[in-house]
Amino acid sequence: MLPRREIRNWPVRHKLAAILAITLVPVIGFMLLYLTTLQQFLLVQEEVNRLYAVQLQTDDILSEMTDVQDGFRGFVLTRNEKFLEPFYTAQENFDPSLHRLKGLVRKDSERQRRLASIEEQVRAFLQLKNRLINDVRFGQLVPVREHIESGTGAALLAEIQNALADFEDLEKTALVQEQRRANRLAMVSRYGIVGGIIGIMLLWWLGGRLLARTITSPLATLTFHALEFGKGRMTGPIPVVSTDELGRLARTMEQMAERIEHHISQREAFHEIGKEISTVGPDGLEGVLKRIAERAGSVLNVDIALVLLWNDVIGCWNIGAASGKWHDLLRRSVLIREETPIAIKALTTGTAQMVEDLSMRAEPVLQIRDRLGAKSLLAVPLRGQEGAFGVLALAPTSAKRLFSELEVRLAQQFADQAAIAIMNARLYEAAHHRGEGLQIRLQELERYAANMAHDLKGPARRMAELASLLQIDYKGRFDERADRYLGWIYENGQQLMARIEEVLRLARIGSVREVVAAVDPLEVINDVLKGCAEQIERSGAKVQVAESFPRVACNHIHLFQILDNLIRNALKFCSDKQSPELEIGVRVERRLAVPGSWEKGPVSAGSGREGEKAGSDSSDLHAPVLFVRDNGVGIASEDRERVFEPFERLGRHEAPGTGIGLAIVKKIIELYQGQVWVESELGQGSTFCFTLPLYGEVAPAQGAHEVAEA
């Protein structure tokens, strides 16, 4: 019997052939055996039937001989022809009976010989009886009497009967033997069928077990692991231990899973490396280049990694960074074109270039070989949107090395990430330098504006005062036109002083720090309304104020300036067709993912307690928005952004003011990382909305402690 391990290692086709042999060959053998047994049983049954027929024919001949003897006796005694009817009938039936009997025993020569002897005796007996019957008819009774008295007829009949009895006994013996054989075959058939069915079932069970163990079970295991593999769940070793096609498939799947896991881990490592080398720290572009060189040397296991940046102006290489000890030695040095042909080829073709043995190169001077001692070189281009701008050079110094195709692809992937990191670092530094320059210029402009406004404030004040003195001292001496001119000079001086004061106020915003406190907007609104009481009474305005507001984290004076400007503007730019109506309240809106975007919620005055509760959770997407709504002249959609620019006065230019109030509002709100916008249409009034950090939130840019004062 073959060992189980050897069977397990058979090819699948041999296993299938063996299973088919185990299950089908016994079935075929059993069927052949059963058919053979059945055929023998049918032959035996046919022989039994023949022997029965022989016995019947033998009995018929005995009966016919008896009829011949009885008919002859009756006719001799009575001379009545009617007694000869059975005689003649028996005589006529003898030949057919004998013929049938001969046909039944034609294959047995011994029985043929016996029948021939019996036939001869019967025919002699019939001839004797026919001769005696004729003697009786002709009146010759002496021979008949002698025949009867001598007992010759009886003796002849007895001989025939004895011969037929012997023949019949022989056939009976054969019949009994054949019946026994037939019974044995029937028993063998019955028990053989039962035993064969049981044996076939056992063999089929054995074949099924072999099929399950060697083929279907490994296939099910492979299917399960393939499905798990397809779902992204990397399982352990596949429990298929055979070395056939299924076993080789299992090993292939394991190797594939290992390669995919390796690639995934490699990708994750590359992602982490990409984040590391792309981080622009205080060391700027130089730090990014240094990290690229170090990580390239460690990832690809080389002794020297150089970041070479091509300088189109001077036509040579700038060494941006080097790995290990070479960084301080080579940093900011240059390499000329003629001494770096491999790097030049990588730069111009945009493909990686590899040299296994640098000592075999024909160039008389190769800096990386002669100066740095490199044995081999892999130059990978640093590619940007407009082509390659540098090369990542990787070189072992201890021994020659043939970089594999996988290592070349890995180096190119690393170089592509490094190129992106370098370009981002360059953009960051450029933007940073430009931002610093703009910030310095903006500060200079703010200082210049403050100084200029301060310098202009004195002459403007003196101009207004001089006009006032002339009106007082020379009252009545000037004509009406001169008095009007002096009044214009005085008013323009006052306006110029007010505008200069607003400019100074705008410039001072952010220069002085104040402590942030919890401010109740309702208290500030009441203070503003008290200051505007005369203007409200003169215009007949109706003012509706919410019962409560959430407390905000800001400086009290800043909130006063915001609300004072918004409320006075609402009273100033009222409609001529109806009395001014103002609504000051708070509503809840949902912050969207895009900065500066808000989704309107239901307008609600709300309560201060609810507002504080909502503001206590900074993760809540819903935030309260303070608003001042009026029914004034409104603002066109294209002018909604312009109204917040300094000195922009839209619509009614005859209205008093300097045109800088909303600019102050915007600058104060932006100090607290808030937002301000207007919702308006021409002729339908305006709603100025703004947000401030609630008490309990942190203003991101100010550290939740201090903001600048205007």
C-alpha–C-alpha distance, residues 426 and 424, integer Å: 5
Residue whose C-alpha is closest to residue 305's, from 315, 316, 318, 290: 290
| Sheet of 353-355, strands arranged across | 334-336, 316-322, 304-311, 387-395, 377-384, 353-355
User: Has residue 440 got a pLDDT over 80?
Assistant: no
Beta carbons of 585 and 605 less than 8 angstroms apart: yes
Mean pLDDT of 587-592: 70
Highest mean pLDDT among 152-166, 483-497, 615-629: 152-166
User: Has residue 592 got a pLDDT over 60?
Assistant: no
User: Has residue 691 got a pLDDT over 70?
Assistant: yes
Question: Residue 604's pLDDT is what?
Answer: 37
User: Has residue 599 got a pLDDT over 70?
Assistant: no
C-alpha–C-alpha distance, residues 132 and 87, integer Å: 13
Question: Residue 376's pLDDT is what?
Answer: 92
Residue 612: pLDDT band (50, 70, 90) is very low
CA 257, 263, 268: angle at the middle one, nearest 5?
125
Question: Residue 497's pLDDT is what?
Answer: 66
Percentage of residues in the chain having pLDDT higher than 70: 79
Question: Residue 252's pLDDT is what?
Answer: 83
C-alpha–C-alpha distance, residues 611 and 552, integer Å: 9
Residue 364: pLDDT band (50, 70, 90) is confident
pLDDT digits (tens, 9 = 90+) for 394-405: 999 989 988 888
User: Has residue 178 got a pLDDT over 60?
Assistant: yes
Residue whose C-alpha is closest to residue 132's, from 196, 52, 219, 69: 69
CA 469, 475, 477: angle at the middle one, nearest 5?
120
Neighbours of 396 (CB within 10 A): 19
C-alpha–C-alpha distance, residues 629 and 63, integer Å: 143
C-alpha–C-alpha distance, residues 263 and 625, integer Å: 51
Question: Residue 500's pLDDT is what?
Answer: 66
Question: Residue 626's pLDDT is what?
Answer: 94
Mean pLDDT of the chain: 78
Question: Residue 625's pLDDT is what?
Answer: 92
Burial of 472 (C-beta count, 10 Å sphere; 0-12/13-18/19+) = exposed
pLDDT digits (tens, 9 = 90+) for 246-279: 777 877 877 787 777 766 766 676 667 666 666 6
The domain spans of the chain are 13-198, 269-427, 512-709
Beta carbons of 390 and 310 less than 8 angstroms apart: yes
Highest mean pLDDT among 365-374, 542-551, 642-651, 665-674: 542-551
Question: Residue 664's pLDDT is what?
Answer: 85
Residue 439: pLDDT band (50, 70, 90) is low
Residue whose C-alpha is closest to residue 87's, from 145, 144, 55, 134: 134
Mean pLDDT of 657-685: 84
Residue 455: pLDDT band (50, 70, 90) is low
Neighbours of 94 (CB within 10 A): 20
Residue whose C-alpha is closest to residue 546's, from 507, 512, 514, 520: 520
Cβ density class 357-385: b for 16+ within 10 Å, e for less: ebeeeeeeebbbbeebebbbbbbbbbbee
Question: Residue 344's pLDDT is what?
Answer: 92
Residue 699: pLDDT band (50, 70, 90) is very low
Residue whose C-alpha is closest to residue 71's, from 57, 81, 62: 81
User: Has residue 452 got a pLDDT over 80?
Assistant: no
Question: Residue 639's pLDDT is what?
Answer: 83
Q: Domain 512-709, what fold?
A: Heat Shock Protein 90 (3.30.565)
> In degrees to the nearest 10, what's the CA dihedral of 443, 447, 449, 453?
160
Mean pLDDT of 590-602: 47
Beta carbons of 382 and 405 less than 8 angstroms apart: no
Answer positive or negative: Cα dihedral of 649, 655, 656, 662.
negative
Beta carbons of 553 and 588 less than 8 angstroms apart: no
User: Has residue 392 got a pLDDT over 70?
Assistant: yes
CA 409, 413, 417: angle at the middle one, nearest 5?
165
C-alpha–C-alpha distance, residues 226 and 655, integer Å: 80
User: Has residue 614 got a pLDDT over 50?
Assistant: no
Question: Residue 448's pLDDT is what?
Answer: 61
Mean pLDDT of 427-451: 67
271 vs 98, which has greater pLDDT?
98
Mean pLDDT of 109-138: 85
Mean pLDDT of 181-200: 80
Beta carbons of 465 and 496 less than 8 angstroms apart: no
Lowest mean pLDDT among 128-132, 286-290, 471-475: 471-475
Where helices occur in 598-660 by DSSP H, the ranges are: 608-615
Question: Residue 563's pLDDT is what?
Answer: 93
Question: Residue 707's pLDDT is what?
Answer: 32
Question: Residue 619's pLDDT is what?
Answer: 39
CA distances for 135 relative to 122, 138, 152, 301, angstroms: 20, 5, 16, 142
Question: Residue 633's pLDDT is what?
Answer: 86
C-alpha–C-alpha distance, residues 195 and 254, integer Å: 47
Do the domains spanning 13-198 and 512-709 agree at the CATH topology level? no
User: Has residue 231 got a pLDDT over 80?
Assistant: no
The two beta strands, 552-554 and 542-545, are unpaired
Question: Residue 512's pLDDT is what?
Answer: 54
Between the two ends of the chain, the Cα-to-Cα distance in Å is 102
pLDDT digits (tens, 9 = 90+) for 533-545: 888 888 889 999 9
Mean pLDDT of 625-630: 94
Helix (H) or strand (E) holding 686: strand 686-690
C-alpha–C-alpha distance, residues 183 and 41, integer Å: 9
User: Has residue 422 got a pLDDT over 70?
Assistant: yes
Residue 628: pLDDT band (50, 70, 90) is very high
pLDDT digits (tens, 9 = 90+) for 328-343: 888 778 888 888 899 9
Question: Residue 382's pLDDT is what?
Answer: 92
Burial of 171 (C-beta count, 10 Å sphere; 0-12/13-18/19+) = buried
Q: Domain 269-427, what fold?
A: Beta-Lactamase (3.30.450)
Burial of 672 (C-beta count, 10 Å sphere; 0-12/13-18/19+) = buried
User: Has residue 653 got a pLDDT over 60?
Assistant: no
User: Has residue 522 got a pLDDT over 90?
Assistant: yes
User: Has residue 578 got a pLDDT over 70?
Assistant: yes
Question: Residue 369's pLDDT is what?
Answer: 87
C-alpha–C-alpha distance, residues 103 and 200, integer Å: 44
C-alpha–C-alpha distance, residues 231 and 225, integer Å: 10
Percentage of residues in the chain having pLDDT higher than 90: 11
Question: Residue 605's pLDDT is what?
Answer: 35
Class of domain 13-198: mainly alpha
Mean pLDDT of 349-369: 87
User: Has residue 225 got a pLDDT over 90?
Assistant: no
CA 257, 259, 263: angle at the middle one, nearest 5?
115
Question: Residue 218's pLDDT is what?
Answer: 79
Q: And the tokens for 219?
A: 């296939």
Beta carbons of 17 and 244 less than 8 angstroms apart: no
C-alpha–C-alpha distance, residues 339 and 399, integer Å: 22
Question: Residue 582's pLDDT is what?
Answer: 93
Question: Residue 702's pLDDT is what?
Answer: 38
24 vs 122, which has greater pLDDT?
122
